[in-house]
Amino acid sequence: MDSNCLSQSIVIFFLLSIWSTLHVHCQSNIFTVSQSRAKTNSKEDFLVAWKKACETDGGTISVPQGNYQLSDVEFLGPCIGKTNFVLDGTLIAPEVPTPNIDYWIMFRNVDSLSMSGTGTIDGNGASYWKIKKAPFITSLKLEHVNNVNIRDIHSINSKKFHFNINNCKGVTITNIHAIAPADSPNTDGIHLGKSENIRVSGANIATGDDCISIGDGVTYMNITGVNCGPGHGISIGSLGRYQEEKEVRSIRVTNCNFKNTQNGLRIKTFGPSPPGLVSDITFEGNVVDNVDNPIIIDQHYCPHTTCEGDSSVSIKRVKFIDIRGSSNAAIGVKIDCSKSQPCEDIELKGVSLTFNGQPTTALCSSADVKFLGNNQIPSSCS
Ligand SMILES: *[C@@H]1O[C@H](CO)[C@@H](O)[C@H](O)[C@H]1NC(C)=O
């Protein structure tokens, strides 16, 4: 190689390395959803952006501000690495959902997902709520999604559930909003089943059903700083409706506020029912304001048919600590357990619940209830 050729090679090598550096820098991992079909149905555009984000390590699907009509859509993994969904726009569901599909937006089989943004998912449920026995449908469903962070997203007017978390591990939900009218049926804010290691904090939930409902197989869950109301409160259950339900264990509900809700802190199991187990539940530092049933364990739950009988789901080690505020009824504490499966180890400590400024009472049956410490209202079972 003569010296001229060598210097040319060096120049070419130099240019090549600049080019490849630039190339890597320009290659974006943000995939923006096109707005071209936003007025009709953006489904294909969402799927295109999802696929690219999912096939890129650290890929982001980005939804800019604006309104997007969107029919039922499934974002399916597994993905290459972590995937981000940034929602700044408003997604609008069709008024009439696709038959036999129980979700509007679904994430499935994804490991490591983050969903964030100031955007809204609008379930467009108003006409659906009027249909009698309308099939179940969730606005945002997660199925077999692990290590997921959901932050700030607003969900409004879901047809039934707002969020449904199923078979997931490691879920953190922060500052979400779930809003629907007080009389909209089954619009639970967050429903969970068969999932573990869950954190919900700082949510604002105002709906026509439970703010948060915890189904069978949920373990290790902390709920904190949730504002609930209107709605039916935070519920463990209903449980015992089906055979072979998995246990619910190690749930903590702390520093939540309930305003004008049907219930505050509730555990409900069907009576009669197959066997099951609820244990190690702590409700601590929660405030109620004009709540119909501030503290309620109901083992004779049976809303749909005329059934009569005792639940065989056993309930153990439940603590109500520092629960304060106003009840909307004379009974502030209702512990109604089953004769065949009495509740064990129910503790109340620092509870103070009044009705029209007067002390409330506690109604207990088939339950081992301990009132610990002084000056509780109510101070014992009547
Ligand atoms: C729930 O809170 C308890 C007590 O602060 C903590 O030990 C536990 O790790 C938390 N669980 C989750 C899933 O965050």
197 CB near ligand 1 (under 6 Å): yes
Q: Tell me if 13 is assigned to some domain.
A: no
Give 337-367 pLDDT, tens digit per residue.
Answer: 999 999 999 999 999 999 999 999 999 999 9
Which residues are bridge partners to 286 per DSSP?
Answer: 323
**Cβ 220 under 6 angstroms from ligand 1:** yes
Tell me: do 219 and 125 sit in the same domain: no
Do 141 and 221 lie in a common domain?
Answer: no
Residue 178 falls within a domain, yes or no? no
In a domain, 221, yes or no: yes
My answer on whether 46 and 117 are in the same domain is yes
Q: Are residues 247 and 158 in the same domain?
A: no
Q: Which atom of ligand 1 is nearest to the CA of 196?
A: 13
Specify the ligand 1 atom closest to the Cα of 197: 13
Looking at the predicted structure, is the pLDDT value of residue 9 above 80? no
- pLDDT, residue 45, reads 98
- Looking at 134, 161, 194, which one is the last position of a domain? 194
The mean of the pLDDT values for the chain is 94
The pLDDT of residue 171: 98
What's the structural domain count of the chain?
Answer: 2
pLDDT of 3 above 60: no
Q: Does residue 265 carry a pLDDT above 80?
A: yes
**222 close to ligand 1 (CB < 6 Angstrom):** yes
What per-residue string of b and e applies to 49-70 under the rule 16 or more CB within 10 Å gives b?
bbbbbbebeebbbbbeeeebbb
Residues 125 and 226 in one domain: no
Residue 90 lies in a domain: yes
Confidence (pLDDT) at 235: 98
Residues 48 and 158 in one domain: yes
**Domain with 357 in it:** 210-382
- Tell me: do 226 and 125 sit in the same domain: no
Residue of 222, 250, 281 to test ligand 1 pocket, by largest number of atoms within 8 Å of CB: 222
For residue 6, being part of any structural domain is answered with no
In this predicted structure, the answer to whether residue 195 has a pLDDT above a threshold of 70 is: yes
Same-domain status, 161 and 223: no
Q: Determine the average pLDDT of the residues in 63-76.
A: 98
Atom of ligand 1 nearest to the CA of 221: 13
pLDDT tens per residue across span 116-174:
999 999 999 999 999 999 999 999 999 999 999 999 999 999 999 999 999 999 999 99
Q: What are phi and psi for residue 262, nearest 5 degrees?
A: -70, -40
Nearest CA to ligand 1 atom 3: 222
Is 304 among the catalytic positions? no
The arithmetic mean of pLDDT across residues 294-299, rounded, is 98
222 and 370 together in one domain = yes
CATH number for the domain including 87? 2.160.20.10
Ligand 1 pocket, mutate which of 197, 252, 283, 321 (most atoms under 8 A from CB): 252
Is 162 found in the same domain as 64? yes
The answer to whether residues 165 and 214 belong to one domain is no
pLDDT of 304 reads 74
